[in-house]
Amino acid sequence: MPKRLLLACLVIILFKAASAQQFGANRPTHKWLQINTDTIRVIFPGHLTTEGIRVASLLRDVSAQPVNLGNRRGKINIVLQNETLLANGYVQMGPFRSEFYMTPPPNSMDLGAMSWADQLALHEYRHVLQNVNARKGVSKLFSILGGELGQAAITNIALPNWFWEGDAVLTETALSAQGRGRLPSFFAGFRALSRLPQAYSFMKIRNGSLKDYVPNHYELGYIMTSYGQLKYGKEFWGNVMDDAVRYKGVFYPFSQSLKRRTGMNAAAFSRASLDYYEENWKENSKEDNDATMVSPSSKHYEDYQWIQADGEDWIVLKQDFKKIPAFYRLKRNGAEEKLWAPGYNFDNYFYYNRGKIVYTESRNHPRWGYEDYSVIRIYDVATKHLVQLTRKSRYFSPALSSDNQQIVAVESSDDMKTQLVILNAQTGEQVRKLENPDNWVYTYPVFAQNNSVIYTTVRNLSGEMALVEVPVETGQAKIIIPFGTDALGPVRIKGEQLYFTANFKDVTNIYATDLRGENIRQVSHADNYVSSFAVGDNKIRYSEFTAGGNKILEMPLETAFANAESIQLHRSYHGDWLHPKLGRDSSTAVNAAAYSFDIKKYRQTKGFFNLHSWIPTFDDPDYSYTIYGNNVLNTTETAIGYTYNRNEESHKVGGSLTYGGWFPYLTTTADYTFRRNVLVSKQNYLIWNEFKWGGGLGVPINLSSGKFSRGMSLSANYNYVKRNATNDSKYRFNIDQIQYYSLGFSFNNQRMKARQNIFSHFGQTLYVQYNNSLNEAKAAQLFARLDLYLPGFARNHNIVINLAYQDIDTSSTYRFTDNFSYARGYNSPYYDHIYKIGVNYHFPVAYPDWGFANALYFTRIRGNIFYDYSEGTSGSQALKTRYNSVGGELYFDTKLGNALPFTCGLRFSHLLNDDPQDAGLSNKFDFILPLQQLFSY
């Protein structure tokens, strides 16, 4: 890997690793508890005491087992979050910590039937062990030189993302009876690709595509790591990882280690892994499918999900790479009618009945980032009227009663309990809440039998699933299909038959049973994952996953039952590839002991400074070395650093501290700069030392809702500056002390965009900042910028309008930072005030899906045609000068090192007016290398 690329990757990863957590996202009234052992500290709110004990107990057993990656067991802080509805988890360096988002996912086909707390513990603790045991050789050196972020940077270059996640999925599968490695749906993406006439290149699989579907690195990673362990033994990956983090082979050390140990580099090893699984898929999925494809043929990706019957028509959620997801009516003649596009959500499930669509959307607390909601909305297809029924609710998977008067939904509370609730479909008022004494996780309930009972699939704490019947009056559940380890999907009722999807075999298919759960039969025989289905009067339609998205197939019910195959429960129909022998104890999760722990309080401000990393940054002309700190609950940010400015040859030392535990952020900064200078005459400089202190507050506000990501922030700061001319300076300041205040306001509103859309088709960003002095030193600045995003003349085109204005004091007593974006092609002009209008037309040129040497991969080439109109006014006579230009830009959206997105480009500007700083300039070429993008990422 070239040295410049290596450096770029390091810079990106440093800041990517530091951005996983949210800053100041919990209320200050949150009361935290802790379980502190020699290997972990579990931090949790009082509501999650049971879950905290479970996580600590399970990880105590897991940490005692031998690990093929090494013998080290570093201590980790694990924070359990109970107010967010996003099902997720992560481990990060800088600071070394983990967070579990404890609300379980609603769709069992995504992650399986395992207890969500157990799955998070097994998966994320594997990342802990990966990081702890990666501190060797060169990686250890970088951890000494750069702290935790230094180690994160170098190990993320050494170890590909597919290994990090694939190894963790392998662990969750090996230590439990479930895990994603035992889910047929988890392999649906690569099964679909195996049916294509030509295989994708390894670089395309690693980097993804904007024109074709590509499975993610979790799926690729499990296939490669499981194949490696099955073929080369359980110590294999530990040895490869050891080589890689020690950089035995400077460039691509992971691939080089694979080559030495197997004779195959990473690309060839990927092909061998896929070949192994594809052979198994061919042997174990020889289904005789009698269904007919009814989706419109398309050369592009089109995805149809959650199909619902509407007489002889069908309602679906459809999306592609050019358009955002929307509800469509598929008419009997094959025509498609768009109905409505829902907004952001935690689960894209919807339910349709008699002209009404009910679904959920996500909402956020304006200030506390970990406090979010899932609200119910109803769309009337006939009147096109949309209603939001609930506020600040935590509902999932709503379904309408047959008369559209009531809704059954799953409510997930902040103590990780789920209950079935009945709501009034007109008011959203909660009519009834059904008890859940066994603490099952309910999924996708539906009404039946004149709305007197509810059928739903459930997950228990042991990682098993069942189908149950729940009478509305009593709430006492009756088990129809008993608990087992196979995942079950949504239920539909037609007549005296219950239909549901299940993982009884190597492919997720549709099964039917009578209302007593007897005579279970397989009624679909799809070759790949059936994600959803609907039963009409005399036919059944379902979505089967392909490389072009979920496609709709149809077959008569008579045919489905004529070819139905009876299923015996608790008999395994799976091939060996879904039950791999991974050399670990698969009963670890189920048999984990419940230990007794000392539970104590945990202060939100504990470890207030917690300095964890010390890293350089390069943003010419500034070169810095900074020590960073964050506490575990991420309410404080600390930075202490040194900066050398190449232009001034000055040296600055300083620091900053931000506290985000209260409603406003509180910030203070202080720095001292030695030998700042400015050329006053041909040979004489004004040289001075400068002390600067500032303090202020800011308030970030999240206003997102529906299809719009929306937010604003307010800030106010006070600054004091003291300047002392040095003894060797030829000049002195008339006023050496300056006090000024800064006021800031920003607003951002962006409509949801599709995968190929360059920008949102409707969006606005506004930023206004005003600086003004408080003492006799005259200094002021007003800056404002507004960017408008509009659709272009084609689906993936955008019109972007830039409006900007700046007014500054030109007395030179003190100059504030200049953030104005001048007309392209011109040098920075002299002015009192200036405005600019920029018009841009962005469009895609090509989607190459091509790269070389696993170093640089091109996903998209896009262009921009622009016109800038700007006018500046200066002097007591208000002299006006115009700065107009036209030109074009060519951008390359790329991936560096198969992982890191980076956009660069070229610009040609033709000046329509003279540049006062360079009168002979009429045409200008620029390279667009936004290095700040690396830091922001």
> Does the residue 369 lie in any domain?
yes
How far is 142 from 429, CA to CA, in rounded Å? 57
pLDDT reported for residue 936: 47
pLDDT reported for residue 572: 87
Which residues, 6 or more positions from 334, have their beta carbon under 8 angstroms from its beta carbon? 294, 296
Determine the average pLDDT of the residues in 469-489: 95
pLDDT reported for residue 287: 61
- Angle (CA) 468 396 496, round 5°: 35
Is pLDDT of 713 > 90? Answer: yes
CATH number at residue 586: 1.10.390
- Residues 793, 914 share a domain: yes
Least confident interval from 174-188, 720-734, 856-870: 720-734
Is pLDDT of 932 > 60? Answer: no
Burial class (CB in 10 A: 0-12, 13-18, 19+), 385: exposed
> Does the residue 9 lie in any domain?
no
Determine the average pLDDT of the residues in 426-454: 95
- Residues 271, 307 share a domain: no
Domain housing 657: 611-934
How far is 674 from 690, CA to CA, in rounded Å? 7
Determine the average pLDDT of the residues in 100-105: 96
The token duo for 157 is 């270059």
- Residues 851, 829 share a domain: yes
Q: Where are the beta strands (DSSP E) in 286-384?
A: 292-293, 302-310, 313-320, 326-330, 336-340, 350-353, 356-364, 372-380
Backbone angles phi, psi at 252, to 5 degrees: 55, 55
pLDDT reported for residue 629: 97
How far is 238 from 68, CA to CA, in rounded Å? 5
- Residue pLDDT, tens place only, 136-166: 999 999 999 999 999 999 999 999 999 999 9
- Residues 410, 536 share a domain: yes
> Does the residue 338 lie in any domain?
yes
pLDDT reported for residue 684: 82
pLDDT reported for residue 384: 97
How far is 520 from 505, CA to CA, in rounded Å? 13
- Residues 584, 506 share a domain: no
3-state secondary structure 425-463: CCCCCEEEEECCCCCCEEEEEEEECCCCEEEEEEECCCC
Residue 802 host element (H or E):
strand 798-808
Return the amino acid letter for 31.
K
How far is 132 from 96, CA to CA, in rounded Å? 10
- Residues 594, 512 share a domain: no
Determine the average pLDDT of the residues in 269-285: 90
- Residues 467, 319 share a domain: yes
> Does the residue 23 lie in any domain?
no
Residues 343 and 705: beta-carbon distance below 8 Å: yes
- Residues 718, 674 share a domain: yes
How far is 45 from 34, CA to CA, in rounded Å? 9
Domain count, the chain: 3
- Residues 816, 674 share a domain: yes
Percentage of the chain beyond pLDDT 70 is 96
CB neighbours of residue 38 within 10 Å: 9
Q: What is the DSSP string of 610-661?
A: -EEEEEEEEETTEEEEEEEEE-TTS-EEEEEEEEEETTTTEEEEEEEEEE-S
**Sign for the pseudo-dihedral over CA of 411, 417, 419, 421:** negative
CATH number at residue 737: 2.40.160.50
Is pLDDT of 26 > 70? Answer: yes
The neighbouring-strand residues paired with 623 are 618, 644
Backbone angles phi, psi at 55, to 5 degrees: -65, -45
The token duo for 712 is 């604003």
CATH number at residue 494: 2.120.10.30
- Residue pLDDT, tens place only, 203-254: 999 999 999 999 999 999 999 999 999 999 999 999 999 999 999 988 899 9
> Does the residue 182 lie in any domain?
yes
How do beta strands 539-546 and 97-101 pair? unpaired
- Residue pLDDT, tens place only, 251-274: 899 999 999 999 999 999 999 999
> Does the residue 11 lie in any domain?
no
pLDDT reported for residue 2: 38
- Residues 447, 363 share a domain: yes
- Higher confidence at residue 10 or residue 682? 682
- Residues 652, 635 share a domain: yes
> Does the residue 16 lie in any domain?
no
Determine the average pLDDT of the residues in 782-801: 97
Residues 663 and 697: beta-carbon distance below 8 Å: no
- Residue pLDDT, tens place only, 55-97: 999 999 999 998 899 989 989 999 999 999 999 999 999 999 9
- Residues 453, 382 share a domain: yes
> Does the residue 5 lie in any domain?
no
Burial class (CB in 10 A: 0-12, 13-18, 19+), 391: exposed
Average confidence score pLDDT of the chain: 92
